[in-house]
Amino acid sequence: MTPPGADVARQDAEVTPDPAVLSCAPVETLKRRADFLRAARARRMTRPAFLLQARPRERRGPVRVGFTCSKKIGNAVTRNRAKRRLRAVARAVLPAQGRAGWDYVLVGRPGVTVAHDFAAMCRDLERALSRIHAGPPA
């Protein structure tokens, strides 16, 4: 129940969408092992909290991203925490910095991915993407 005098939004009121959402490229998740293996043979950029693997696809399409954390990261709880952090970083950076038609794989690193500063991870991914895209064609 709404308290008296509260500002109630009308159903007929116009809702303005968030401009950041409008400008984002669609991002899909890699699911097939073959896609992960192709990305592993392509360009790499090592950062303190993760390893970025990237490759352009033949066909244009949405940005695709995959995440992997081996048992070297730790037990299941630690691996899942690391993957959640990598997903959050990708969600924050890839829509604006990722290129359509590219596959990206973020690989967690033992002891660092879970404990590294989130803002620093976002900056690292931005720098890694700019260096990968500026490099020579694979």
- What CATH number corresponds to the domain at position 63? 3.30.230.10
- The fraction of the chain above a pLDDT of 70, given in percent, is 80
Residue 136 has what pLDDT? 67
User: Can you give the pLDDT at residue 59?
Assistant: 81
pLDDT at 5: 57
Mean pLDDT of 9-30: 54
**Are the C-beta atoms of 69 and 83 separated by less than 8 Å?**
yes
Can you give the pLDDT at residue 22? 36
What is the total count of domains within the chain?
1
The verdict on residue 8 lying in a domain is no
What does the pLDDT average to over 94-108?
91
Judge whether 88 lies within some domain. yes
Maximum CA pair distance of the chain? 64
Q: Which domain holds residue 36?
A: 24-134
Of 73, 97, 92, give the one whose Cα is nearest residue 83: 73
**Average pLDDT value for residue range 21-30:** 66
Residue 18 within any structural domain of the chain: no
